[in-house]
Structure 1
Amino acid sequence: MVVIMQLRNSSARYGLISMLLHWGIALAVYAMFGLGLWMVTLSYYDGWYHQAPELHKSIGIVLMMGLVIRVIWRHISRPPSAPKSHSTLTRVTAAGAHIALYSILFAIFISGYLISTADGKPISVFGLFDVPATLSDAGSQADLAGQIHLWLAWSVVILSALHGLAALKHHFIDKDDTLKRMLGRSSVDSGA
């Protein structure tokens, strides 16, 4: 049986837009984490010394716009309710983890913005448009925001890895639809 992917979420599974936003942002966050770790190891004489941070900033702005769209979409197309087999603790923990992930991601973007605009210059996004610098105090702002940015980046990677492990636990141990729903499937699709 061919299942045509719906755009909006249903009570049984996530729709195509939610899945693309979820997996796209997850992939971009891990790519940005790797890029960030790599670019701080570059020496001044490396060809990527100036290009990598510009790429990181541009992707960061696009990623922030994607996250804003994701939050808005989450209110337009409500996610499916948690499976009835989930305990109250599981539901509360999942909700708390989602709030923490969104909050940390927004804090990463804010700290990245403060690092990037500490010298008072706007952020050029792939040369297409600029995001203006609104706050700037070069030395102390960049240093403090840089430390916060690093700790938040590690936090979101660790928390998202736990989020992924929890989804795998639900799939392989609990044998429920938690992971299937974010893959566009549910037991309703297979007739189970």
Structure 2
Amino acid sequence: MQWRNRETGYGLVAIGLHWLVAVAVIGLFALGWWMVELTYYDPWYRQAPAIHKATGVLLFLVLTARLLWRWLNPSPRPLGKPWERRAASVVHGTFYVLLFALMIAGYLISTADGSAIDVFGLFSVPATISDLPDQEDIAGDVHRWLAWTVIGLAALHALAAFKHHLFDRDDTLRRMLRPVASRR
């Protein structure tokens, strides 16, 4: 197994971080969608948001690590037509911008009352910006729209990967499923 990327494929770290972010984003979206319908007397009324917030903070750390890994360990040579390579570059950059904006909006919702975010009892993220006029409501609207946008973009991203695999018959999808073999 190769830990680092090569020109011909992704390494184990890049693949692991990609799928960890993907599962976390989809899981957080599903949890967020479910928890907003909970009533005050539901046993999950306080637990679900606490899990959502703590996981969001951990996702922020993982996404930061993924971005650092990407800068320190360049991606393999892209496949596809020139316009597809440009589109892929724009989509990947847009994912990072949207995800960080989504998490900042979530932070602003969670800390609007001045409370810190507890991360599974491991550490807390302090409230640095709070008491802005309508902070929780505005950040909540932004958070919701960004979440739907990220999920829509992720669906298009997945469809593009399947298009490359099924119609173009190139290695775009395979490279994100199987690490490049190490040199021996």
Mapped partners of 1:31, 1:120: distance in 2: 27
In structure 1, what is the equivalent of residue 173 of structure 2? 179
Q: List per-residue Cα deviations over 1:62-97 (Å, max 9, x = no partner).
A: 0000000000000111110112xx222111100000
Structure 1: gaps of 5 or more residues: none
Comparing both chains, which one has the higher relative contact order based on Cα–Cα distances under 8 Å and sequence gaps of 6 or more? 2
The alignment partner of 1:173 has SS state of: helix
Tell me the TM-score normalized by structure 1: 0.92
Mapped partners of 1:10, 1:92: distance in 2: 20
Structure 2: gaps of 5 or more residues: none
Where in structure 2 are the equivalents of 1:154-169 lying within 5 Å? 154-169=148-163
Note the C-alpha offset of 1:184: 2.0
In structure 2, what is the equivalent of residue 46 of structure 1? 42
Contact 1:118–1:139 (Cα < 8 Å) also in 2: no
Tell me the TM-score normalized by structure 2: 0.95
Note the C-alpha offset of 1:185: 5.4
Which ranges of 4 or more aligned residues in structure 1 deviate by more than 3 Å?
A: none
In structure 2, what is the equivalent of residue 140 of structure 1? 134
Candidates 9, 15, 29, aligned match of 2:11: 15
Quick check: 1:55 aligned with 2:15?
Answer: no
**Cα distance change of structure 1 residues 143 and 98 upon mapping to structure 2, 3 Å threshold:** same
- CA RMSD across the alignment: 1.4
Contact 2:112–2:131 (Cα < 8 Å) also in 1: yes
Q: List per-residue Cα deviations over 1:34-70 (Å, max 9, x = no partner).
A: 0000100000000000111000000000000000000
Contact 1:119–1:138 (Cα < 8 Å) also in 2: no
Contact 2:2–2:179 (Cα < 8 Å) also in 1: no
Counterpart residue type for residue 89 of structure 1: W
- Identical aligned pairs, as a percentage? 52
